[in-house]
Amino acid sequence: MEAEAAKLIGVGLTAGLGMIGPGIGIGILGAGAMNALGRNPEARGAILTNMILAIAFAEAIGIYAFVVAIMLLFVA
């Protein structure tokens, strides 16, 4: 019984802590891109392309954390 509870706590911590970083990072990236667009609207294409690429990398880290949490839930 205690092992099952410990496993569920571990899964919750893995998912929560693994996804909070990318969430904060995506927010910072979005804010930085909007600030850059406000200062230099002519560079819209380059700014948005780089922002979307960086957000995709940050989101991938969150997806990896989710996959690890699911694996812990069903395998451990």
Please state the length of the chain. Answer: 76
For residue 50, which of 73, 76, 29, 20 has the smallest C-alpha distance?
29
CATH code for the part of the protein at 11-75: 1.20.20.10
Q: Which residue has the tokens 């092992």?
A: 3
Domain ranges of the chain: 11-75
Q: Give pLDDT < 50 ranges for the chain.
A: none
For the chain, percent of residues with pLDDT exceeding 70: 99
- In this predicted structure, what is the pLDDT of residue 31? 95
Residues 66 and 68: their CA atoms lie apart, in Å, by 5
